Amino acid sequence: MKYHKISHLFLLFTIIFISFSCQKEKVNPAFKKKKLAEIEKLFERGYSDFDEAKHDSAFYYFNKAKNLAEQIQDTSRIIYSLTWIATIEHNQGDYVGSEATSTEALPYLNGPRRFPYGETNIYAHIGSNYIATQDYKNAVYYLKKAINYKTDELFKGTIYNNIALAYKYQELYNKAESILRPLSSKKIIYQDSSLVATIKDNLGFVQYKLNKPNSLANMMESFKIRKAIKDNYGLLSSYNNLSLYHANSERKLAIAYAKKGYQTALKISHPDSVLEFLKLLIQTDPGKDLKKYADNYIRINDSLVGARQKAKNTFARIKYDSKREKDENLRLKNESIQQAQKIQKRNITIVLTIATMTLIGFFIIRKIRLNSKKEKVNAAYSTEVRLSQKLHDELANDLFQTIAFAEGQDLSTKENKETLIANLDIIYNQTRNISRENNSIETEASYLPNLKGLFFDFNTQQQHIITVGLDTIKWNSIENHTKITIFRIIQELLVNMKKHSNCTVAVFNFEIILNVLQISYRDNGLGLQNQTLQLKNGLSNLESRVQSIDGTATFNTMNESGFNAQFQIPI
C-alpha cells in the first residue's frame, strides 16, 4: 500500500513539472562501419578457436564482439555473440553461467529482430541448460517458447526432439513417442542425416521402454546412419541405448556395446561419456576389469570437476575484466550527457510541494499509529514527536526559503528555474527518506524468503521478473547493515521499474567475484533517456546507498534495449 500511494505522488510531480524531449542517439556511420569490421574479425577468430577446442580464447573473442556490438547498438550481433558465449559455457559444464548469459539476451528480443533466429536460439539454449541440470519441466517450457513463426522448419525438428528427450528423462515415454513417431516421418528432417539418426535412436529407446516391437529396428537404423556418416558423438548415444536394450537378455552383447562406446568416448576426448560408459560397465560387467573401471571412473571424474571449475573461473575473470573496461567507458560517456528540464507555474509548484510534504507526514504518523500496540503507546508517541521534529527542522526552513525565492525572483530565467527545481528536489528527497526510514527489515533466517517475496510481489503477467544466482549467495555471511542496504536497492529498482520503465521483462543477476557481490539489472523498457526526472534523482539516491557501504553503481541505457544497472558491493 505504501508504494501505491507514493507512486501517485511521483506521477503528480511528473505531470505538473517535468517533460523531456527525447532525441535518439545516433551512431556515426564511419564509426559503425569500423566496429562492424572489427566484430566480423572477432567472430572469425572465435569460430576458429571453437573448432580447435580452444574454449578460453573463443569465449574471449565472442565476449569482446558482444561489447563492440553494444557500442554501435547492433541488437542482432549482441544476441548472436551471447548465443555463442552461452554455448561455450554449456559445453564446458558451466550451466549456471550459460543460463545467466542466455537470460542477458532476453531484453533485446523485443527490439528489431535483424537476427531472425535470436529468440529461438536463446530460448533453446535455456531449455538445453535445464535438461542438463535435470529441471525437465522448465526445459519443456522454454523449448516450446523457442518455436515461433520465424523458426526454421529443420531447427524445429531439433527442438521437438529435445522436448521429447525431456519427457524421456521424466519417464513419460508415451508423451515422448507421441512427438518422435510423427516427427520421424517428416520429409524435412531427411535433409539432415544426423538429425534423422538422433530422432530414430530416441524413438527406438522410448519404444523399448514401452515394449513395442519396432524399438530395436529404429535403434539399429540410427546406428547404421551414424556409422555411415562417421558421427562419433551420435554413436555414443547409440552404443549406450543398445547396451541398455540388451542388458537383461544378452549380457555379452550389452558389454560389447558398452566397451565400444567407452573406446569411442576416449577417442574423441568426451569425458562425460567416458564416465557414463564406465558406470555402465561397472553395472553390466562383473568380470576381472571391474576394479579398473571403478578406479578410472574416480580418476576421470575428479579431473573433470577440476577442469570445469578452472574453465568457470576463467570465464568469470574474462567477464569481470571486460565489464570493468566497459564500466569505465560508460562513466566517461555519461559525463557528457546533458538533460533538459522545464518548470511550470511557481504557485502550483509551491502548493503541490506543501501538499506532498503534508501527505507524506500524515502517512508516516498514521502508519505508526495503526501499527502500534497498546503496550507501546508511549514509544509510538515518542516516535511521532521525533518525526514531527524532523519535519520541522529538516523541511520547514528549506520550504519557506523556496517560497521566498519563488516569490522574489524572476522565474523566467534559466538559472532561477534550475535553482528552484534543485531546491524542490532537495525537499522531496528529504520527505521520501523520512518515510522510508521507518520500515524494518529482517536480516536473519527470513532475509532470503523476504527478498524472494519482494520479487514475487512485483512479478506480474505484464512485467516478468527473472532472477539468476539469488540462491547461490551465502546471505548469512554478509553483514546485516549491508543486507539492509541491498534490500533497499532492490526495492527501489523494482518500484522504479513498475512506475517508469514500461518494460515486459526485467532480469536480476547475482554472483560473487573476488569477494565482491555483483548485482546486475536489465530490462527492455524505455531506457534512461526516456525517463522522468524523479527516476533519475532516484538513481542518484541508489548510488548514494551503494557508496555508503563502499560499493559502486553504474547506470546505462541503449536506445533499443532498455535500462541497465550494475552494482559492486564488497562483502
- Torsion from C-alpha of 382, 387, 391, 394, nearest 10 degrees: 100
pLDDT tens string 253-283 = 999 998 899 899 888 777 777 878 888 888 8
| Structure confidence by residue, pLDDT tens digits, 242-260 | 999 998 889 899 999 988 9
Q: Which pLDDT value is given to residue 18?
A: 39
- pLDDT above 50 (res 374): no
pLDDT digits (tens, 9 = 90+) for 166-198: 999 999 999 999 999 999 999 999 999 999 999
Q: Order of strands across the sheet with 505-513?
A: 464-468, 505-513, 516-523, 562-570, 552-558
3-state secondary structure of 508: strand
Residue with cell 527516476: 535
| Most confident region among 14-18, 114-118, 340-344, 356-360 by mean pLDDT | 356-360
Read off the C-alpha cell for 222. Answer: 540410427
pLDDT of residue 552: 93
Does 466 score more than 90 pLDDT? Answer: yes
d(Cα 167, Cα 189) in Å, to the nearest integer?
20
Q: Is the pLDDT of residue 447 over 80?
A: yes
Predicted pLDDT at 102: 87
Supply the mean pLDDT for the chain.
79
b/e map of 107-134 (b: 16 or more CB within 10 Å)? Answer: bbbbbeeebebbbbbbbbbbbbbbbeee
Nearest to 88 by CA among 80, 96, 98: 98
What is the pLDDT confidence band of residue 7, given thresholds at 50, 70 and 90? Answer: very low
Q: Using CA atoms, how far apart are residues 499 and 11, in angstroms rounded to an integer?
A: 8
C-alpha cell read off for 451: 527478498
- Find the angle CA(13)-CA(18)-CA(408) to the nearest 5 degrees: 85
Question: Using CA atoms, how far apart are residues 264 and 157, in angstroms rounded to an integer?
Answer: 27
Q: Does residue 308 surpass a pLDDT of 70?
A: no
Answer yes or no: pTM beyond 0.75: no
All cell numbers assigned to 565 = 544497472
Confidence band of 532 (pLDDT split at 50, 70, 90): low
